[in-house]
Amino acid sequence: MTTLSKPATYYPNYEVNADDIMTVIEICHPNSPHKKRAFDMIQNAEVKKRHLIMPLTDVVKQGDFGERAKVYQDAAIEMAENVAREAIHNARLSVDEIDMVIATSCTGFMMPSLTAHLINRLSLRPDTKQIPIAQLGCVAGASAIGRAFEYCEHRPDRNVLIVCVETSSLCFHKEAGRLQDFISNSLFADGAAAVVMRGDDQISGLRLTHNQSVTIEDTMPYIEYQLTDKGFKFSLDKDVMHSIPHVAPYLQSFCQDKLEIDANDVDNTIFHTGGRRILDELERCLDLAPDKVKHSRACLAETGNTSSVAVIDVLRRTFEHATKGETSLLAAFGPGFTSEMSVGIWQ
């Protein structure tokens, strides 16, 4: 009886809004033919604010990959430690009771991994198992939940710490001038989240019953990284908007098979905050009442798209409202094009 206990989230202090990022685009690309369209899209994106690890004045003057990697390492470790301690506390466990740590982060890179740093910083047991995940992008938070579920499913005495950390501001490239670069600049944001999966049922939370991965054939260009001397750079193809109609039938049949109800009868959906259009498409394709995606919309409005972090934040928001016996569908979407989905019942 694997249980997701109460998550912890953390957002850094520097806040930006749509107007701030439009000003940056205006200054860096005064003659861009994409500007008008981008500004229309940014103003309709339903992102009220985002949090960054540094002031926007520093974001725009960042150096090469080496320089960004140093900033990443310090910020990622600090945010990760912070949310990890709170999540372990929320799970009513001591650090000695953690058997595996999964860390997800696609906006920076370090070796030794964040998982090794967490073992040291938190004084986890030396035999703690590690899964660091860097290349699953926005689906990674839900992937971590899937892998933790498979580990705990037959091991009720084990507990997995999941930590997601993103610093999208370190993937900002001043010279990037395509329409999708402007959209990325206005959407992605920084933050951290952690959650403990307990293998037992000795705590209230979301009791997961099933998990499924889905990778859609021939859709790899939808979401990619470009790698440059300045590090990682998101590359979103406009076809990414076609991704949800591909995935929705899997989400529907997963709910029907495992919960024996249609997706629109699930009490709470916990969707990765990909963007307004992604949430609109989920509503449309699964015939969901608008109320069903409200926590994902609130997460988008208050924090933007924090990649692997977002789904754990939406889980935290759901935690405050779900009641015993309610059903949940948790899902995220990312490069591959891959979706990870889990279902469970609140206890």
Binding site for its own copies (CB under 8 A): 64-66, 69, 106, 109-117, 119-120, 123, 126-137, 143, 146-147, 150-151, 153-154, 212-218, 220, 223-232, 250, 335-336, 338
CB of 67 vs its own copies, minimal distance in Å: 9
**Of 40 and 64, which CB lies nearer to its own copies in the complex structure?**
64
Side chain identity at residue 270, one-letter code = I
Give me the torsion for CA of 257, 195, 73, 67, rounded to 10°.
50
Tell me the C-alpha distance between 141 and 118, whole Å: 17
DSSP state of 333: E
Min CB(130)–its own copies separation in Å: 7
Q: In angstroms, give the least distance from the CB of 122 to its own copies.
A: 11
Catalytic machinery residues:
138
Q: Which is nearer to its own copies, 66 or 290 (CB)?
A: 66
Half-sphere exposure of 106 (CA within 13 A, CB side): 25
- In the complex with its own copies, the residue whose CB is nearer, 42 or 100, is 100
- CA atoms of 156 and 145, how far apart (whole Å): 16
Residue 206 Cβ, how far from its own copies at the closest point, in Å? 20
- Helix axis angle, 35-43 relative to 179-187, nearest 10°? 30
Beta carbons within 8 Å of 279's beta carbon, 6+ residues apart:
271, 273, 293, 296, 297, 300
CB of 118 to its own copies, least distance (A): 10
Write the DSSP assignment of 182-240 as a string of letters: HHHHHHB-EEEEEEEEESSSSS-SEEEEEEEEEE-TT-GGGEEEEEETTEEEEEE-GGG
122 vs 299, which CB is nearer to its own copies? 122
Q: Which is nearer to its own copies, 285 or 298 (CB)?
A: 285
Distance CA(118)–CA(89), nearest Å, equals: 15
Residue with tokens 């000695």: 96
| Helix (H) or strand (E) run with residue 257 in it | helix 243-258
Our CA angle for 63, 67, 70, nearest 5°, is 150
The amino acid that residue 210 corresponds to is: H
| 87 CB burial (10 A radius; 0-12, 13-18, 19+) | buried
Please state the closest distance from residue 241 (CB atom) to its own copies, in A.
18
